[in-house]
Amino acid sequence: MGLPTARPAEAATVAGPFRPPVSLPAGPAEHAPPTRRFLAQATLVTASLSMAAALLGLVRDQSLARLFGAGRDTDAFLVAWTVPEFAATLLIEDGLAFALIPAFSRALARRAQGAPGDPVRSLVAGTLPRLALGFTAVGALLAVAAPQFVAVLAPGLPDPALAVDCTRLTATCVLSFGLAGYSSAALRAHRRFLAPAAIYLAYNVGIITAMYALGGRWGVRSAAFGVAAGGCLMVLVQLPALVRQLGRRRTGGTAAGAAAVARPLAVPLLATVLLFALCRQSQVLIERFLASELPAGAISHLNYAQKVAQIPMTLSMMLCTVTFPVVARALADGDTERARDRVERDLALAGSLVLLGTAAVVACAPQLIGLLFQRGAFTAQDTAATAGVMRVYALGLLGQTLTGVLVRSYFSAGRAAWYPVAAMAAGIVATSWTGAWTLGPWGVTGIAAANATGITLTAVLLLAGMRRRSVPIRTGPVLRELSRPLRAAAVATVAGGFVGSIPAGPLAGLAAGGATVTVVFVLLGWALGAQGFAPALRSVRTLTRKLAHAVLR
């Protein structure tokens, strides 16, 4: 089941924060530019389900900590966890989506222009079988080479045999995540966001169920089995919507019955998007490689810190998940100005949201970790260590978000782009050097600092190259706009940290500190004239009125 398509009568435009709206004529419902109302509905659905998935992910991590603590077993599982982390980035969130969404957008544009045959079905016929075969081969190879994979990734691991067993179970997600990512890209390009937004809910349900059902007999291997089961659920939850969408008969156009040639994706395009995603996710490899030489539990502390700190980034990227197909379709239609306005608006809104989350994470780190994880085998010492790591790691969240927004622009035209790969490679080099230099004096905190340094460098390089190599945004106004919520976040962090430290309990401290951060950030952002605040607050007011009307009715 998907969201309704934009109605022709509502064919308004997507306005950027720095210029008047650009109006386009209305067309057929499937092909008209999406309205603000449609984008708001799609973002609300995506954000709501993603928030639910993130909360369920916390339950998953809490269950892992409660059942298995933060020691040898969880370190072994988290090495195997690298496989689904990489697969999610390469095949669902970044890599494959960067190639497929523009490809489906071009196919839909050609269909609207009356191209012979059905370009969408032709694209599926030319790509899906080849990709599925590749996913299967890579997953099988990884399962066979699991001992070598573990030895390279974590040479200092105390129990490599357990990590090998877990890796062989998680290797199955290469195929399941690949099929789930393909389905998500196809549905989003068709403006169907409900099923793709639900995949991580299904995934986490599979992992949590497996841990509690099998944990007593299989130990931490049950979590790895849950990864395999959850990957299958990700495919199944999207299958009905995908079959309905691809099974629709073509309407309009000319020569509808003519045969179209099935063409695979261009190899250079696939190479650049996958290399970028691989470089970005290799930060995890570097972190775990370095942390494997530290005392037991270091990898676990870093993992729990990342999982919590990344929630603001994940939520801030929800809008871009919805608007990436919009930018790709605008470029496919030749409307560069509409694409530029959308990217500038995304940068303003995503930057504001992630800075608010960063302020809350830094100010309330001990309360957050204590409330979420300190129970069972997870001790107060684990809480202190994880909170310290999380505060440092959160300093890179703005860079993570900007990188996610900007790289979509580079690939939205559906062409190979090597500059983002070079920018990400520079960030990886910075992460490696900084991590090796700080590991001795700072330990796992130095690894978190290296992560923040590397991804921030990548974001700066991507922003600097936008005008000549991507959607030509206006860099100066964008930077000035981002500086306003950045200043508000700095003040809100100090105020929230002070207020949050006064109550004795973690829940009261989190409530006091979080409320302070939010109030100070919003008031200062409004006073400084941050343009990303106005539409966000209007959306909140509109949603509140709709909810109140629904309750009263």
Q: How many domains does the chain have?
A: 2
Question: Does 161 map to a domain?
Answer: yes
Q: Are 423 and 275 in contact (CB under 8 A)?
A: no
Q: Which residues of the chain fall short of a pLDDT of 50?
A: 1-30, 252-260, 539-540, 543-544, 546-553
Q: Residue 536: which domain range?
A: 275-552
Question: Does 82 map to a domain?
Answer: yes
Clarify whether residues 83 and 136 are in a common domain. Answer: yes
Q: Which of 310, 492, 338, 331 is nearest to 399 (CA)?
A: 310
Clarify whether residues 50 and 106 are in a common domain. Answer: yes
Residue 218 tokens read as 């299989």
Clarify whether residues 218 and 310 are in a common domain. Answer: no
Concatenated DSSP letters for 202-266? HHHHHHHHHHHHHHHHHTTHHHHHHHHHHHHHHHHHHHHHHHHHHTSPP-SSS-TTS-----PPP
Question: Does 263 map to a domain?
Answer: no
Question: Does 24 map to a domain?
Answer: no
Spell out the alpha helix ranges (H) of 501-553: 506-528, 533-552
Backbone angles phi, psi at 53, to 5 degrees: -65, -40
DSSP state of 474: -
Clarify whether residues 292 and 406 are in a common domain. Answer: yes
Clarify whether residues 286 and 229 are in a common domain. Answer: no
In angstroms, rounded to a whole number, what is the distance separating the alpha carbons of residues 325 and 309? 27
Clarify whether residues 229 and 354 are in a common domain. Answer: no
pLDDT in tens, 124-135: 888 899 999 999
In angstroms, rounded to a whole number, what is the distance separating the alpha carbons of residues 50 and 120? 28
Clarify whether residues 187 and 291 are in a common domain. Answer: no
* Cα atoms in the 13 Å half-sphere on the side-chain side of 459: 19
Q: Which of 143, 64, 130 is nearest to 372 (CA)?
A: 64
Q: Are 176 and 234 in contact (CB under 8 A)?
A: yes
Question: Does 392 map to a domain?
Answer: yes
Residues 297, 299, 301, CA angle at the centre, nearest 5°?
65
Clarify whether residues 305 and 232 are in a common domain. Answer: no
Task: Give the distance from CA 406 to its chain's centroid.
Answer: 13
In angstroms, rounded to a whole number, what is the distance separating the alpha carbons of residues 88 and 239? 18
Q: Which of 21, 39, 19 is nearest to 329 (CA)?
A: 39
Compute the Cα dihedral for 39, 41, 42, 46 and give only its sign: positive
Clarify whether residues 207 and 286 are in a common domain. Answer: no
Clarify whether residues 230 and 284 are in a common domain. Answer: no
Clarify whether residues 242 and 332 are in a common domain. Answer: no
Residue 381 tokens read as 């010492």
Clarify whether residues 443 and 495 are in a common domain. Answer: yes
Question: Does 90 map to a domain?
Answer: yes
Task: Give the distance from CA 309 to its chain's centroid.
Answer: 13
Question: Does 20 map to a domain?
Answer: no
Q: Which of 312, 510, 514 is nearest to 395 (CA)?
A: 312
This prediction has a pTM of 0.72
Element (H or E) spanning 30, and its range?
A: none
Backbone angles phi, psi at 71, to 5 degrees: -155, -145
Element (H or E) spanning 370, and its range?
A: helix 365-373
Question: Does 256 map to a domain?
Answer: no
Residue 366 tokens read as 């001990």
